[in-house]
Chain A
Protein backbone atom coordinates (compact mmCIF):
# COMPACT_ATOMS: atom_id res chain seq x y z
CA UNK A 1 0.00 0.00 0.00
CA UNK A 2 1.19 3.50 -0.81
CA UNK A 3 0.42 6.76 0.99
CA UNK A 4 -0.56 8.38 -2.31
CA UNK A 5 -3.94 7.06 -3.42
CA UNK A 6 -5.03 7.15 -7.04
CA UNK A 7 -8.46 6.34 -8.44
CA UNK A 8 -9.55 4.65 -10.54
CA UNK A 9 -6.91 1.93 -10.94
CA UNK A 10 -8.08 1.18 -14.48
CA UNK A 11 -10.03 3.32 -16.94
CA UNK A 12 -11.24 2.55 -20.44
CA UNK A 13 -12.75 5.42 -22.36
CA UNK A 14 -13.68 6.43 -25.86
CA UNK A 15 -12.13 9.36 -27.64
CA UNK A 16 -15.23 11.52 -27.09
CA UNK A 17 -15.60 10.83 -23.38
CA UNK A 18 -14.78 13.13 -20.48
CA UNK A 19 -13.31 11.54 -17.38
CA UNK A 20 -11.15 12.52 -14.42
CA UNK A 21 -8.27 10.88 -12.59
CA UNK A 22 -7.97 11.56 -8.88
CA UNK A 23 -5.02 11.59 -6.52
CA UNK A 24 -4.99 12.10 -2.74
CA UNK A 25 -2.21 12.29 -0.17
CA UNK A 26 -2.29 12.97 3.56
CA UNK A 27 1.43 13.32 4.22
CA UNK A 28 1.31 17.12 4.38
CA UNK A 29 3.24 17.39 1.13
CA UNK A 30 2.93 20.72 -0.67
CA UNK A 31 4.17 19.57 -4.09
CA UNK A 32 2.21 17.20 -6.29
CA UNK A 33 3.01 15.84 -9.72
CA UNK A 34 1.44 14.08 -12.69
CA UNK A 35 3.59 11.75 -14.78
CA UNK A 36 2.77 9.68 -17.86
CA UNK A 37 4.51 6.36 -18.41
CA UNK A 38 4.40 4.26 -21.56
CA UNK A 39 5.43 0.60 -21.54
CA UNK A 40 9.17 0.04 -21.09
CA UNK A 41 9.80 3.80 -20.82
CA UNK A 42 10.60 5.97 -17.80
CA UNK A 43 7.98 8.29 -16.28
CA UNK A 44 7.62 11.58 -18.14
CA UNK A 45 6.66 14.69 -16.23
CA UNK A 46 3.38 16.37 -17.20
CA UNK A 47 2.54 18.88 -14.45
CA UNK A 48 3.87 20.14 -11.12
CA UNK A 49 1.80 21.90 -8.46
CA UNK A 50 3.36 23.66 -5.51
CA UNK A 51 1.16 25.10 -2.78
CA UNK A 52 -1.87 24.40 -4.98
CA UNK A 53 -0.51 26.52 -7.83
CA UNK A 54 0.60 25.15 -11.20
CA UNK A 55 4.34 25.68 -11.40
CA UNK A 56 5.34 23.48 -14.34
CA UNK A 57 3.42 22.44 -17.45
CA UNK A 58 5.64 20.39 -19.73
CA UNK A 59 3.86 21.49 -22.93
CA UNK A 60 1.07 18.99 -22.36
CA UNK A 61 -1.83 19.09 -24.87
CA UNK A 62 -4.92 20.92 -23.65
CA UNK A 63 -6.96 17.72 -23.70
CA UNK A 64 -5.27 17.10 -20.32
CA UNK A 65 -6.39 19.63 -17.71
CA UNK A 66 -4.96 19.48 -14.17
CA UNK A 67 -6.65 20.83 -11.07
CA UNK A 68 -5.51 21.10 -7.47
CA UNK A 69 -8.59 21.86 -5.30
CA UNK A 70 -6.60 21.75 -2.04
CA UNK A 71 -3.25 20.67 -0.66
CA UNK A 72 -4.27 16.99 -0.46
CA UNK A 73 -6.02 16.53 -3.78
CA UNK A 74 -4.89 16.55 -7.39
CA UNK A 75 -7.12 15.85 -10.37
CA UNK A 76 -6.42 15.30 -14.04
CA UNK A 77 -9.40 16.00 -16.31
CA UNK A 78 -9.41 14.16 -19.61
CA UNK A 79 -11.32 15.13 -22.75
CA UNK A 80 -11.09 14.05 -26.39
CA UNK A 81 -8.08 11.83 -25.82
CA UNK A 82 -6.27 9.98 -28.58
CA UNK A 83 -5.28 6.29 -28.69
CA UNK A 84 -1.64 7.29 -28.15
CA UNK A 85 -2.64 8.70 -24.77
CA UNK A 86 -3.10 5.16 -23.48
CA UNK A 87 -0.55 4.80 -20.69
CA UNK A 88 -0.02 4.50 -16.95
CA UNK A 89 -0.68 7.85 -15.28
CA UNK A 90 1.23 8.33 -12.07
CA UNK A 91 0.66 10.86 -9.32
CA UNK A 92 3.46 11.71 -6.91
CA UNK A 93 3.93 14.05 -3.97
CA UNK A 94 6.83 15.48 -2.00
CA UNK A 95 7.76 18.16 0.46
CA UNK A 96 8.50 21.44 -1.32
CA UNK A 97 11.20 22.86 0.94
CA UNK A 98 14.72 21.51 0.78
CA UNK A 99 16.52 19.86 -2.09
CA UNK A 100 16.58 16.37 -0.68
CA UNK A 101 12.91 15.50 -0.60
CA UNK A 102 12.02 12.30 -2.43
CA UNK A 103 8.86 11.90 -4.43
CA UNK A 104 6.40 9.22 -3.42
CA UNK A 105 4.28 7.65 -6.14
CA UNK A 106 0.76 6.33 -6.11
CA UNK A 107 -0.11 3.00 -7.71
CA UNK A 108 -1.17 4.74 -10.91
CA UNK A 109 -4.19 4.68 -13.20
CA UNK A 110 -3.90 2.49 -16.27
CA UNK A 111 -5.73 4.32 -19.02
CA UNK A 112 -6.87 2.75 -22.28
CA UNK A 113 -8.35 4.87 -25.08
CA UNK A 114 -10.54 3.02 -27.55
Chain B
Protein backbone atom coordinates (compact mmCIF):
# COMPACT_ATOMS: atom_id res chain seq x y z
CA UNK B 1 0.00 0.00 0.00
CA UNK B 2 0.90 3.63 -0.11
CA UNK B 3 1.50 4.01 3.60
CA UNK B 4 1.86 2.19 6.90
CA UNK B 5 -1.44 0.64 7.89
CA UNK B 6 -2.37 -0.17 11.48
CA UNK B 7 -5.36 -2.07 12.73
CA UNK B 8 -7.57 -1.70 14.56
CA UNK B 9 -7.62 2.07 14.75
CA UNK B 10 -9.36 1.90 18.11
CA UNK B 11 -9.54 -0.90 20.64
CA UNK B 12 -11.35 -0.97 23.96
CA UNK B 13 -10.60 -3.97 26.12
CA UNK B 14 -11.25 -5.13 29.64
CA UNK B 15 -8.45 -5.27 32.15
CA UNK B 16 -6.82 -8.68 32.10
CA UNK B 17 -7.63 -9.49 28.49
CA UNK B 18 -5.01 -10.04 25.77
CA UNK B 19 -4.86 -7.78 22.71
CA UNK B 20 -3.11 -7.97 19.36
CA UNK B 21 -2.22 -4.89 17.36
CA UNK B 22 -1.28 -5.21 13.73
CA UNK B 23 1.07 -3.20 11.54
CA UNK B 24 1.34 -3.51 7.75
CA UNK B 25 4.50 -1.65 6.73
CA UNK B 26 5.21 -0.19 3.33
CA UNK B 27 6.11 -3.01 0.94
CA UNK B 28 9.84 -3.65 0.80
CA UNK B 29 10.67 -1.71 3.95
CA UNK B 30 13.29 -3.57 5.94
CA UNK B 31 13.03 -1.75 9.26
CA UNK B 32 10.03 -1.49 11.56
CA UNK B 33 9.46 0.23 14.90
CA UNK B 34 6.78 0.11 17.54
CA UNK B 35 6.27 3.08 19.84
CA UNK B 36 3.57 4.04 22.28
CA UNK B 37 2.35 7.46 23.29
CA UNK B 38 0.32 8.08 26.40
CA UNK B 39 -1.99 11.10 26.51
CA UNK B 40 0.04 14.30 26.45
CA UNK B 41 3.34 12.45 26.56
CA UNK B 42 6.20 11.84 24.15
CA UNK B 43 6.88 8.74 22.12
CA UNK B 44 8.16 5.77 24.07
CA UNK B 45 10.30 3.32 22.10
CA UNK B 46 9.14 -0.29 22.40
CA UNK B 47 10.86 -2.52 19.83
CA UNK B 48 12.88 -2.25 16.62
CA UNK B 49 13.10 -4.82 13.82
CA UNK B 50 15.96 -4.29 11.38
CA UNK B 51 16.16 -6.66 8.44
CA UNK B 52 17.21 -10.14 9.47
CA UNK B 53 18.94 -9.01 12.67
CA UNK B 54 17.62 -9.93 16.07
CA UNK B 55 15.08 -7.30 17.15
CA UNK B 56 15.99 -4.69 19.73
CA UNK B 57 13.45 -5.39 22.47
CA UNK B 58 15.01 -3.10 25.04
CA UNK B 59 11.99 -0.79 25.20
CA UNK B 60 9.35 -3.38 26.03
CA UNK B 61 8.05 -2.36 29.49
CA UNK B 62 7.34 -5.85 30.81
CA UNK B 63 7.18 -9.50 29.77
CA UNK B 64 3.47 -9.00 29.07
CA UNK B 65 4.55 -7.26 25.87
CA UNK B 66 5.85 -9.14 22.84
CA UNK B 67 6.13 -8.50 19.14
CA UNK B 68 6.94 -10.46 16.05
CA UNK B 69 7.47 -9.73 12.44
CA UNK B 70 6.56 -12.54 10.10
CA UNK B 71 8.27 -12.92 6.74
CA UNK B 72 9.93 -9.55 7.12
CA UNK B 73 6.62 -7.81 6.54
CA UNK B 74 3.58 -7.67 8.83
CA UNK B 75 4.22 -7.15 12.53
CA UNK B 76 2.01 -7.94 15.50
CA UNK B 77 2.37 -6.40 18.95
CA UNK B 78 0.74 -8.52 21.65
CA UNK B 79 -0.10 -7.32 25.13
CA UNK B 80 -1.12 -10.02 27.58
CA UNK B 81 -3.22 -9.45 30.70
CA UNK B 82 -3.74 -5.78 29.86
CA UNK B 83 -3.59 -3.18 32.61
CA UNK B 84 -5.06 0.31 32.70
CA UNK B 85 -1.59 1.83 32.39
CA UNK B 86 -1.30 0.15 28.99
CA UNK B 87 -3.86 2.62 27.63
CA UNK B 88 -2.09 4.67 24.95
CA UNK B 89 -1.76 5.17 21.22
CA UNK B 90 0.49 2.49 19.75
CA UNK B 91 2.38 3.69 16.68
CA UNK B 92 4.17 1.66 14.05
CA UNK B 93 6.75 3.03 11.61
CA UNK B 94 8.70 1.50 8.73
CA UNK B 95 11.62 2.45 6.52
CA UNK B 96 13.95 1.12 3.89
CA UNK B 97 17.26 1.23 5.72
CA UNK B 98 20.72 0.87 4.44
CA UNK B 99 23.65 3.14 3.96
CA UNK B 100 21.26 5.86 2.81
CA UNK B 101 18.16 6.55 4.78
CA UNK B 102 15.35 8.98 4.27
CA UNK B 103 13.25 8.76 7.37
CA UNK B 104 10.49 6.65 8.80
CA UNK B 105 6.88 6.63 7.72
CA UNK B 106 4.48 6.32 10.62
CA UNK B 107 1.03 4.81 10.68
CA UNK B 108 -1.95 6.56 12.22
CA UNK B 109 -1.75 4.37 15.30
CA UNK B 110 -4.03 2.17 17.35
CA UNK B 111 -5.70 3.86 20.31
CA UNK B 112 -5.91 1.27 23.08
CA UNK B 113 -8.19 1.86 26.04
CA UNK B 114 -8.15 -0.60 28.92
CA UNK B 115 -11.22 -0.34 31.14
Decide whether A and B are members of one complex.
no
- Which residues on B are within 8 Å of A, measured CB to CB? none
- Which residues on A are within 8 Å of B, measured CB to CB? none
